[in-house]
Structure 1
Amino acid sequence: MKMLARLLALAWALAAGGCALTPEQGAAATRVAGQARSVLVDCVREDACATPSALRALGVDALAASAPDAPRHHALILDYGQDALLARLSMLRSAQRSVDVQTYIFDEDDAGHMVLDELLAAARRGVKVRVLVDQLSALREVETLAALAGAHVNFEMRIYNPLLGRAHINYPQYVLAAACCWRRLNQRMHNKLLLVDGVAGITGGRNYQNSYYDWDPEYNFRDRDLYVAGPVVAEMAASFDLYWDARLTRRLPVLADVGRLLLRGGVPALPHEPFVLPGRVERISRDADDAMLVGALAAQALPVGEVDFISDLPEKHRAGHEGVAPSTRGLLGLIEGAQEEILLQTPYLVLSPVAQDLFRELQEREDPPRVLVSTNSLAATDAFITYALSYKYKRRHLREFGFEIHEFKPFPQDAPIDVEATGTVEPGDAVAAQADAGRSRSRPLEREYSALRWSGFSAHERVPLHRGGVRFGLHGKSLVVDERIGVVGTHNFDPRGDNYNTESAVVIEDAAFAQALAASIRRDMAPANAWTIARRDRPVVFSGLDYSLGKVSESLPVFDLWPTRYATSYEFRPGPGCTEPPPIHHPHFRACHDPVGDFPEVRMGLRSLLTRIFTAFGAGLAPIL
């Protein structure tokens, strides 16, 4: 009874700490923020003193050249993190009327603060700026959110799906939310958009955090964005508006922690720690103002015709919602229409049941399409539990779905990454300061698998490797069908994207664009950047029995304890007769590849053991992974 009483008292205390403001308190906090907002505008010109940008100009030109039945667009694949940040800065400075930002993670590191500074500068020039962030990944400090609530009349930030009526929740509150509202806890806004003046936008995998722009000294994401200019931006803007006005979206002052801070002390000054590497910030800032540099980037954009934007509706998070979400339905439809080849890139190869059924059906065709998959290795991933589920089903992926899987290496030799930008070539004290700053903060913002971020044994820490250095992991979500349709979006092709997260994607049916996107994915799958997954050598004796028992063990939801897995990793070994890596079913595959073990580069230890444990017992986690 005493234990029950203590638990009830704890639950009451947690609930009391998480209670939303009363309507009267929310109105009072809103007034405090509203009265503090500056109305001063730095510019009286009609263009809001915008800096001309070739990227914005492409959007203006595309709209001028378009007709209702003949749209014209420009599309630019942003592979390099520095290009992605440069494009964002240039577009923000070119804004004349409006900027809309929708994102999952918005951190308070160098990249996050730099973009936030640009957004506030645009607001002070006279541009209407709206920022929508998911609660579990919003800015780290409540003081920052309170300051932004009263920053400027042209700037507004809102939070999507704030559990317990708060902008932030601590670990005990997270436990309470998991106990009372597990499904809502997992329902996150994973969409990512940057829209300028209704003429140009960026979408894709990147959030606002150092690790998405090659700015982290320890671990960065090899990601992909798509810049698109033309009429489709109006559809993207309409999607943003739906989320901005959604029933789960809240203004900052009405959230309990933000509102109470405003009521206690008014709007605080905007906290802004000094940039850890100010020289790097200054360089990218100068580059964003370099018309020739931005023009050279814009010149790489491909002219395309019709562009489709697929986006889930906020209603996906309504109680009782049924049916396949638009993002999932659209992607499955494209895959179903494949005739020759599917190129799929996802950081987390955990397929939903409906996707598994589709790939089985494709392989049952008389002439099935080839399916090449680019994903993370255990050494590269930021989510080893998710990798464990992928590891568990490698036999199924290879035999039943016909996948040719290439797992990204943690130290790729020829990928579109910029190691110099990480700061590891800067003086050691600056690097150490950045690393220490990252370690001193709470970790939850750094992972997109929101419902498992608070795992007590740090389930989303990277595994230890045999060697040190800046590590990279895949984060791009892309699809190419028959080298005629290209897709860049936010969907990881996983159960979470199907059922919990809201997602979006840009679809372009254009051979030149599809081939450019295919070349980008193939580069990530090249031997310098990835290991190939194939069947391991058969045992000398009882090979059929080993396979059968492994298959039976794999089918069990728990207790998948058979020690021998169907597949392992292979490294390409060039030499006479091996100038190019042959496919896994080619008779010369083994002559040109060496097996390197199930977990190459990984220092075997606790994480490897846990990977095997979750292989055995973690299948039940698949729906939220």
Structure 2
Amino acid sequence: MSGCSLPSLDNRTISSALLKSEARATRIGTAVATRADQHPGKSGIYPLPNPYDAFAARMLLAKAADRTLDVQYYIWHKDITGTLLLEALHEAARRGVRVRLLLDDNGISDMDEDLKTLDSHPNIEVRLFNPYIVRKPTKWLGYVTDFSRANRRMHNKSFTADNQATIVGGRNVGDEYFGASNGVLFADLDVLCVGTVVDSVSSAFDSYWASESSYPVGLILTRVRGNRMEQLTMAADAVERDPAASAFVNTVKRSVFINELLAGSLNLEWAHTRMVSDDPAKGLGKAEAKGLMSHQLEEVIGAPGSDMVLVSPYFVPTAAGVDAFRKMAGRGVKVRILTNSLDATDVAAVHAGYAKWRKDLLKSGITLFEMNSFSSVTAGRKSKSSIGSSGASLHAKTFAVDGKRIFVGSFNFDPRSFNLNTELGFVIDSPALARQIGALFDSAVPTYAYKVLLGEDGKLYWIEKQGEKQIRYDHDPRTTCWKRGLVFLLSMLPIEWLL
């Protein structure tokens, strides 16, 4: 490919999700049909807070697929979990399953050859969203030469088998999201869903797949040198034999999840569930207001009446958001928010966009918690809570309103999710799930997070609970002067709209 402009999309292959009539004849479709018919208009929900279970669910859905797999992610790393899941897609294709893989080009470092190799399989097609023309090692030049487009990313996350079962939530594909990394584990939340709403996810996937921002990988990447398909499988075999992968391989082997799903015995909660998603035209700055997730969320959820619990790893409220929370609290709504502490965050610039609003939020009557990284708390202890882990950084995006409904998806409460990135999620009418999230704030959150308070002198302080003890910090806990100074300087820059 010559030049620095994007290629024409005139000759793309046209494809769409599996028809409902055909989807019901698959193993998954047959298994869920009777239960779905017993709950007309509802969807079956199965939360996946545990990272090992979340990984196993994706692997096993790939193995259970008979006809199609539609997979969409912002980040896909070339590591243990990323390699194993890529091979699971490859294995499905060898069985005759049609695989469509749509990835944002911002989060696939060192994956070019693997993706082009997969794309060479007759049953696999790979597309890149908002791709960069210049590849490694100067891929970053795309931001300089085409900033307005390259700054808009596809943040959606979905894994759909046979248009009958889908996994949607906050997790990307990579070791840090599934607990295979020796570094930070992103505490996250996905849900497996069957029933009515799956068709909405498939329709959204089709829209992104056929959008102006979706480019066949063959138009962007250079040809693969030689036949690498066998090398891809051998690399996956080597990863599977690696002792570091044993916990994941064994989790998949032990999991009864897919057997229960196919037997119709998986403990699903049936609830009215609506998908909310940005129009893919947002990736080019062309979406109308009604096509934005923020607009849809406002319509679907409405104004909280009594209680709102919000979990967002990247929380940048802005002046407008602070005013909205202030008005909520003024109406008597109890608002509790959990985000990352400076010690736990993986993006200091985003924390800077949040930190400058803490005092205003607290003055408005909002309760603030910040996730503890656990880097130095009870060494060696690990938790299976959906929000805590040794060396944890919060990555879940969820909120509950009035103890009646919840949101689970990719949407962060920051300007980037509102205005720049495309997002996807579910609004689930489930008092049971809403109560679970509320209960976390009553029990687990005070254990795993600092409570941020405002003293009579107008200064912030943090309270950490360690057993029966309470420890007070007069600055961001477990951080250096240098890091706090950096965040202060970043908070002075006019970059809030980018965060």
Q: Same fold (TM over 0.5)?
A: yes
Query: 1:62 and 1:600 mapped to 2: Cα distance?
Result: 49
1:153 equivalent to 2:95? Answer no
Which residue matches 2:73? 103
Query: 1:126 and 1:574 mapped to 2: Cα distance?
Result: 55
Within 5 Å, give how 1:274-289 maps onto structure 2.
Answer: 274-275=238-239, 278-279=242-243, 281-289=245-253
Which residue matches 1:212? 177
Runs (5+) with no aligned partner, structure 1: 1-14, 32-45, 423-469, 539-546, 548-565, 576-591
Which residue matches 1:406? 369
Which residue matches 2:36? 63
Residue-by-residue CA offset, 1:47-76 (whole Å, 9 max, x unaligned): 9xx9x78xx77633443334xxx3232111
Query: 2:474 and 2:464 mapped to 1: Cα distance?
Result: 10
Q: Using a 3 Å threshold, how does the CA distance of structure 1 residues 60 and 290 change in structure 2: closer, same or farther?
A: farther
Judge conservation of contact 2:460–2:474 (CA < 8 Å) in 1: no
Higher alpha-carbon Rg: 1
Which residue matches 1:518? 438
Q: CA deviation at 1:157?
A: 1.0
Within 5 Å, give how 1:198-597 maps onto structure 2.
Answer: 198-255=163-220, 258-259=221-222, 261-262=223-224, 265=225, 268-269=228-229, 270-271=231-232, 272=235, 274-275=238-239, 278-279=242-243, 281-290=245-254, 292=256, 294=258, 301-323=267-289, 325-333=291-299, 336-365=302-331, 368-400=332-364, 402-411=365-374, 415-416=383-384, 471-520=391-440, 524-526=444-446, 528-538=447-457, 566-572=459-465, 593-597=470-474
SS at match of 1:135: strand
Residue-by-residue CA offset, 1:435-475 (whole Å, 9 max, x unaligned): xxxxxxxxxxxxxxxxxxxxxxxxxxxxxxxxxxx521000
Residue-by-residue CA offset, 1:236-255 (whole Å, 9 max, x unaligned): 00000000111110111111
Judge conservation of contact 1:159–1:252 (CA < 8 Å) in 2: yes
Q: Using a 3 Å threshold, how does the CA distance of structure 1 residues 512 and 239 change in structure 2: closer, same or farther?
A: same
Which residue matches 2:58? 88
Letter in 2 for 1:529: Y
Query: 1:220 and 1:568 mapped to 2: Cα distance?
Result: 26
Residue-by-residue CA offset, 1:288-345 (whole Å, 9 max, x unaligned): 3446465579967442232111111112233454536532123344665211110000
1:601 to 457, 460, 478: 478
Query: 2:144 and 2:305 mapped to 1: Cα distance?
Result: 46
Q: Using a 3 Å threshold, how does the CA distance of structure 1 residues 21 and 511 change in structure 2: closer, same or farther?
A: closer
Which residue matches 1:445? none
SS at match of 1:241: helix
Letter in 1 for 2:181: D
SS at match of 2:428: strand
Letter in 1 for 2:245: V
1:613 to 479, 489, 495: 489
Query: 2:270 and 2:69 mapped to 1: Cα distance?
Result: 24
Judge conservation of contact 1:568–1:595 (CA < 8 Å) in 2: yes
Query: 2:481 and 2:55 mapped to 1: Cα distance?
Result: 37
Letter in 2 for 1:64: D
Within 5 Å, give how 1:137-216 maps onto structure 2.
Answer: 137-138=107-108, 140-150=110-120, 152-164=121-133, 168-171=135-138, 173-175=139-141, 177-216=142-181
Query: 1:614 and 1:134 mapped to 2: Cα distance?
Result: 27
Query: 1:245 and 1:156 mapped to 2: Cα distance?
Result: 13
How many residue pairs get aligned? The number is: 477
Q: Using a 3 Å threshold, how does the CA distance of structure 1 residues 360 and 324 change in structure 2: closer, same or farther?
A: farther
Which residue matches 2:17? none
Q: Which range moved further: 203-212 or 311-320? A: 311-320
SS at match of 1:207: coil
Runs (5+) with no aligned partner, structure 2: 14-21
Q: CA deviation at 1:486?
A: 1.2
Q: Using a 3 Å threshold, how does the CA distance of structure 1 residues 319 and 480 change in structure 2: closer, same or farther?
A: closer
Letter in 1 for 2:363: R
Which residue matches 1:624? 498
What is the TM-score of this pair, normalised by structure 1? 0.70
Q: Using a 3 Å threshold, how does the CA distance of structure 1 residues 126 and 139 change in structure 2: closer, same or farther?
A: farther
Query: 1:148 and 1:532 mapped to 2: Cα distance?
Result: 47
Residue-by-residue CA offset, 1:226-277 (whole Å, 9 max, x unaligned): 111111100000000000111110111111xx23x34xx4554444373287
